[in-house]
Homo-oligomer: A and B are copies of this chain.
Amino acid sequence: MVLHGYFRSSASYRVRIALNLKGLQAAQVAHHLRKGEQNAEAYLALNPQGLVPTLETDDGGLLTQSLAIIDWLEELRPSPPLLPSDPWRRVRAKAFALAIACDIHPVQNLKVLARLRRLGIAEAEVQAWAASVNRDGLTACAALLDGEPGPFCFGERPTLADICLVPQLANARRFGVAVEAFPRLIAIEQACAGLAAFRDAAPDRQPDAE
C-alpha cells in the first residue's frame, strides 16, 4: 500500500496512527501542501478533492477521506478493533470523531485559511479564527466525554476517537490554543503517547518533516 500524505496534515496523521495500530505497512509519498502539490494534475487524478490523504491499495484501488480509509482498514484487519464493542460507546466514539473531522478540522485547514487571506483578512485575524475554531471544538469534545472514565476517550483501548483527537490537539497547539484548559483531553493524549503506534505517527517523525 502507498499512503499519499503530508507530515503535518492531521487527516494523514490519523491514517498513520490507524495503520500502526493495525500493524500494517504503507510506503509514504509526500505532497507538500504549502507548495500546492495537492493541486497538481497528477495528484487530482488520484484524489479529485485535492486533499490528503489518499491510500493506494495493492491492487491499485484509490481510497480517499481519512475516516473512510480507517473503516476500510478495520474491515481489512479487524484486530485490534478501532471502535468500542459496546453499541452505545461505539456510536459516541463515532460522533466524537466526526465532531473533530467535520466541525473542527475542515474549518481551520489550509484551504479555508487561504480563502480568508484572499478576502483580505489580516494574518492575526486568520490565526485567531483557527485558534477559536479549535478552542470551541475542543470544549465540545471534552463535554462529549462526560461520564467516560478513561484512560482513552472511550475505555481501556484507543479507538477512532483517540485517532482523531491526538492530531487535532497538535493543530490546536500550533495555533496557540492553551490546551491545558482541557485536562481530560491532555490526559488522553498522554495515554496515547505511551503507545508506539501514536508516537511513530507524529508529524516530526515522518520522512517529509521539515
List residues of chain A with CB under 8 Å of any chain B CB: 48-51, 61, 63-65, 67-69, 71-72, 75, 87-88, 91-92, 94-95, 98-99, 101-103, 105-107, 112, 115-116, 119, 121, 125, 129, 139-140, 143-144, 146
Contacts and interface: CB of A to CB of B under 8 A. Distances in A.
B88 A68 contact: no
Contact of A102 (B72, B92, B102, B115): B102
A95 B64 contact: yes
B103 A107 contact: no
Main secondary structure of the interface of A (DSSP, over half): helix
A107 B99 contact: no
Contact of A121 (B50, B61, B99, B119): B119
Given A63-B91, A91-B71, A105 B107 contact: no
A116 B119 CA distance: 10
A103 B106 contact: yes
Contacts of A69: 91, 95
Contact of A107 (B49, B72, B106): B106
Contacts of A88: 61
Given A106-B106, A107-B106, A140-B49, A64 B99 contact: yes
A143 B64 CA distance: 12
A129 B120 CA distance: 13
A111 to B, nearest CB: 8
